[in-house]
Amino acid sequence: MNNWISVDERLPKRQADYLVYIPEGIQVVLWFNGYDWVVDEAYYAFDSVEITHWMPLPEPPKEEP
């Protein structure tokens, strides 16, 4: 199943971490702050042109009792 969403189609509606794709074959988790993609700890903003697709992160695994 392919859940990638093109940034040309739309951007996320809420601030959160997302998996993003950069054409050089890089997949990385970045924070979307409502208008830009940033690395949370360093506050480094990626050039939005570099990022072509994004997707929500999956739910974390459920801990077994």
The pLDDT score that the predictor gives to residue 50 is 83
pLDDT digit string (tens) for 8-30?
999 999 999 999 998 888 888 88
Domain ranges of the chain: 5-56
Split at pLDDT 50, 70, 90, the class of 48 is low
Of 61, 56, 50, 60, nearest to 14 by C-alpha is: 56
Phi, psi (rounded to 5 degrees) for 56: -65, 150
Q: 2 vs 21, which has greater pLDDT?
A: 21
In the predicted model, what is the mean pLDDT of the chain? 84
Distance CA 56, CA 65 (A): 27
Report the predicted TM-score, pTM, of the whole model to 2 decimal places: 0.78
